[in-house]
A and B are shown apart, each in its own frame.
Chain A
Amino acid sequence: MSVETTDRHAREYWGTRVGLILAMAGNAVGLGNFLRFPVQAAQNGGGTFMIPYFIAFVLLGIPLMWMEWGIGRYGGRFGHGTLPGMFDRMWRNRAAKYIGVIGIIMPLVVLTYYTVIIGWLLAFAVFSLTGGYFFPDLTVAAAATEVSAYLSSLQDIRDTSLHGGWVGFAFYAITIALITWVVSRGIRGGIEKLALFAVPTLFVMAIFLMIRVLTLPATELGSPVEGLAFIWTPEWAALGDPTVWLAAAGQVFFTLSLGIGTLHTYASFLSKEDDITLTGLATASTNEFAEVVLGGTIAIPAAVTFFGVAGLATVAGTFDLGIVAMAVVFQSLPGPEIWGRLAGFTWFFLLFLAGITSSVALASPAMAFMQEEFGFRRTNVALGVGGLALFLGLLNVVWYEGGFLDEWDYWAGTFGLVVLAFIEIWIIRLAFGADAFWKELHSGADLLISRFFLFVMKWVTPLFVTGILVWWGWEQAIPTLLMDGVAPEEIGTRWFARLTLVALLLAGIVLIRTAWRRNPEQHAPVDRPRTVRAGGGDR
């Protein structure tokens, strides 16, 4: 077999398989597992939501997870850790590498506002220990109002009523500094070590909180059992509603971190002899455990116990469920206040850990691109990416009230995921070849995937993703583009956010063009992957 590959020892690689799985799981496990999933389940048929959810997991989530691991590992053989190089190798078309730009820019954009949010979580973890948001003499409703104001003051740097304007920025800067430090240590010395510490810690903390929440005594407003009923009580009529099926597909999409480019980069640090079928499935199942078992038994059962179902929905402000409602829950726990403070720290720190492991993954594509395509040193690239994220994040902080963050979140963090998945799935299907990819996927495999999934990857998943793209494009993207329902005072900020996004994409395209011109030998054509199909691969 004559596919030429870059000497992989010139690149970094994972130290252990468990480290790889935990890093991948850390990438996938985020705020959505603990906050988005239970709300989605509750609003889309309760227990019956799990029927479309598991179907989407099997037909969409697992196949796409394998596909992204496969694309990443294949690209890594040629020294490419990002989508421009991977697409260029899989589809010999001059446009392929430019399409891959979204696999670098989107995670960078999401990183900038994700770190703002996890900066708030770090702040609340510290405030839990200091008792900053504890108002022991107030009722639950009054405390919720106070905590909401406490959070607003942290979010808005111009609001100095409860915090100095620098406090929110300081926690944001600490978060960025931590991410920069981790990625500057590399895959094995930074990201893997973080995952080996953070992911087990996160799980232990979540199990502790789950036990604490489920053993809470009932209050006059609600109980943990009512919270579980709120999430799981089935509504059979929901199964006939197509929006429920789309919601389930969307949840599977978001929770597994599909369509953003991070899985590809992590998988590129594997050799073709390494298993990705069983390892990919292990990653997906770990994420599902965090979501269905842990995510479904903490936030909503706790909040329903102290607010009741009606009260939960009327707490004012933003990020109510994860920050405001839970902050009130912890100060309302029976027993000495110190236990409430520790429980609060546990909750906010576990969310912070979930966020930080996702953030280092989001920084990885930009890191890999600048190191591999331009030969810059890792430390310098880490400082550059950290500095850029800090600058771009400030736009989110300064124009937060104008909807800047929402705009970026929609185009890069929501709709963009489906666009990228749509592109990669059709590149596999039409350019690389589904059968060739199937063989590629099984190189070094520890798990022989049922051929049922070959059919699914050929037909079901592509049509599923295309359907989601068309539906969301029609239902959401067009109205969002036309700014339906947007307050007039936000329109200017939102256009500014869009133009910034376009400018970043154009800058990425210029960098790709420069990289390919600068180093034509590295990007020269080699044997097509059809040799894999014809000759049984390069095993």
Chain B
Amino acid sequence: MNILALLLILQQDVEHAVTRIADGLDPFAVTFMLVSMGAVTALMVWCFARILRGRSHFDPDGTGPAKPPIPGRVERKGKTDEL
């Protein structure tokens, strides 16, 4: 949303942008790009790996999460006292 406003900003800043990228994709830019992409990818993979490992907790018989048969990982590991 608000794409119109963004395009206006883009138009105002064009000369600055041309100057800014005159040296192409420098090592700092590559670093920021790879670290940013790597971080969000790693977070997503970690979340889904953890979810898929715990599948039996959630939906063992395909009937949905109306009543999970066993408690969540936090309770199973006795960590509720830490709350």
A: which residues have CB within 8 A of B?
8-9, 13-18, 20-21, 31-32, 35-36, 39-40, 42-43, 46-48, 50, 54, 110, 188, 225-226, 228-235, 254, 270-271, 273-275, 277-279, 281-282, 285-286, 288-289, 291-293, 296, 309-310, 312-314, 318-322, 406, 409-410, 413-414, 438-439, 442-448, 451, 536, 539
Contacts and interface: CB of A to CB of B under 8 A. Distances in A.
22 contacts: A15-B59, A15-B64, A20-B65, A21-B51, A47-B29, A47-B32, A47-B33, A225-B24, A226-B21, A230-B17, A273-B68, A278-B47, A288-B43, A293-B37, A314-B14, A409-B2, A414-B2, A442-B83, A446-B57, A446-B73, A448-B74, A448-B82
Contacts of B72: 273, 275, 443-446
Contact of B68 (A35, A274, A310): A274
Given A40-B6, A228-B29, A254-B1, A289 B66 contact: no
Interface of B: 1-4, 6-7, 9-11, 13-14, 17-18, 20-21, 23-26, 28-33, 35-37, 39-41, 43-44, 46-48, 50-51, 54-55, 57-59, 62, 64-68, 71-75, 79-80, 82-83
Given A47-B29, A447-B73, A321 B21 contact: no
B26 A233 contact: yes
B10 A43 contact: yes
Given A16-B59, A42-B17, 14 more contacts: A13-B65, A15-B64, A36-B3, A42-B10, A46-B29, A47-B29, A230-B17, A273-B67, A273-B68, A293-B40, A406-B4, A444-B68, A446-B50, A448-B79
Contacts of B17: 42, 230, 309, 313
B54 to A, nearest CB: 6
B29 A281 contact: no
Nearest to B26: A233
A277 B73 CA distance: 11
Contacts of A291: 40
B28 A234 contact: yes
A233 B31 CA distance: 10
Nearest to A410: B2
B74 A446 contact: yes
Contacts of A293: 37, 40-41
A14 B40 contact: no
Given A39-B9, A188-B64, A279 B51 contact: yes
Given A36-B1, A273-B68, A314 B11 contact: yes
B28 A235 contact: no
B20 A39 contact: no
A32 B62 CA distance: 34
A8 to B, nearest CB: 7
Contact of A288 (B9, B30, B40, B74): B40
Chain B CB within 10 Å, residue with most, of A16, A46, A233: A233
Nearest first, the 9 A-B pairs at minimum CB distance are A47-B32, A282-B47, A313-B14, A285-B44, A288-B40, A229-B21, A285-B43, A232-B29, A446-B73
